[in-house]
Structure 1
């Protein structure tokens, strides 16, 4: 089944540069104060909501690709009609699409969106999203994975709730390499010269590489970043790193042109189905746990309906049904028991897949990276992109 990576490349200085530019062009300050974020909620009188997501990121019916079983079930149960759009193909692109409305205190026309947490952090800082009412979301309060509860940019997950999660680790062809990879530093061994790829996007790449240097990514510093880039730059000069990639590392691994790659856990599940020699490893030093999260933008017209939909997807049975299709790390650990009890053997086997439900050993090596602040981003992006060649 074809999949699209939800981890987008950072282009240039990205949105930080965009915000700096508009600030110098007579555009009003982008920050929205708390009292200006809500609109009159029409949920009670209008049983509808608009939900913007990424392509191929929800379950579909095997016989009718226009049907989405979990979403259809929500509509039948609640009477709420959901307009579901697959319009998010890149975090920066979507930011550019809706930011003019948000910074000018206008509605985006969307009640619920899904974006990567590093982009969520910017929305939170800018005041472009509303707090969710957890008193109306008992499933989120009960079932959200504790590992995902306290990102630095949004302690307690007041403004966002993970849709799906994943791990940035290392994928490699164990048979062709002829040995195991257990540490990030194993990528720099002589037998991998010219056969390694790293991710091109700074937000996607930096955390794992820092962890390989022994850095606690929950509190990394600029000095940690510079030491990491010094090492990467030296490896580029030595032609050890074959290239920097987006999601196309999948093709490189499949063809055998590359033996090891910085990779996303959800992609490797699909790779392993086609090639059992491909392994995914969370290095001993650790790997980054990331999410793409649900958020309610400012002035959303159906906030209560959106909160109901978010809470619905945190019912373990619903989360389990979604997990069987998307194959990313499920943010609802209780869904594991639902899958384990399935009569279908393939479905039950998913409960034992550590790339969907990480085991205790793996969980102990996962961490959510401190996000890159708006002040840090221009300098760090310039440094990183100079190495990558963006």
Structure 2
């Protein structure tokens, strides 16, 4: 068995994840390498979800009966846990959404409807990057089309890094918002946050960070980041689907208008006008994802018990080993950084002329789960002149043996199509 420095006790951790014991295709044990799409869920999260529905299920905030009070306490308790997890100055800066996509759309729509000095209009500019997930491209395209604002973006270097050589020309005095990913979901690139934020602050632009591929894998400290908004999702960090988070600076949340109207986000309503509740409820119209928030709180507890620094060290060791092993495979080309430096636990690659969908299908027959396609980051594929990639992504329960299984599986793919 391969031993690497910095690894977690994966034998113990994997016992918390029932699905990792599953066998498919005539007794082959699942090798799950699709964590950038969604992570698996530990028993602690599954138990929290079951306990909520079995013992506490009710709508939150308005009820005065026991179940409603318990559900409210669990829901708001999850907000406290998330606030501590990201080192938010205030729990009221944590907004629950259904996913990171909704969080990013929320920011875009707030800025489109805002008054000065935050309003995005035809005299202003929006800045993104070429390596964004579609969820951090399309909302800004829609805002640009609706307001007339100019959309600009940073390109990608040949080695999969952001090209910041023209940063002063991209981020200018007209820039209202700079929105970019902390970690690329397709290439694993960790972006230079400080450099980008420093330039944005020089011109008075707001900064929104998509931390969907960061929150599950590393310490996420919103105060240290110094961004204005941070978005991430629960299902990639051991939590359930249907729950996301938008963190925003308190003063911005107070000044910006709501995106959705309805129950709970109001203070008063008449037939002529309405006033709004303070944040975070101002941005949480209707019945929220209560059980999902409870599950996310349990996921935060689970990750915190292991330690995000420990998880990051484990994944770095696995990624370093995976890069080394994959580069031994003939005709394999890594799309993005070819070292483990400043990269997350996601590796996308092509294998000669074999289509990634064929690679994925043959790997699946061996019990190996990877992702194939453009991974909702089609501009990256266009940049590198490829139709799609095969993507292997790792997490706290990933092992060197699974990396070895992937490499052996790729040799089988080559032989199958050779």
Identify whether the pair has TM-score above 0.5, normalized to the shorter chain.
Answer: no
- TM-score where L is the length of structure 2: 0.27
- TM-score where L is the length of structure 1: 0.29
Q: State the structure with more CA Rg.
A: 2
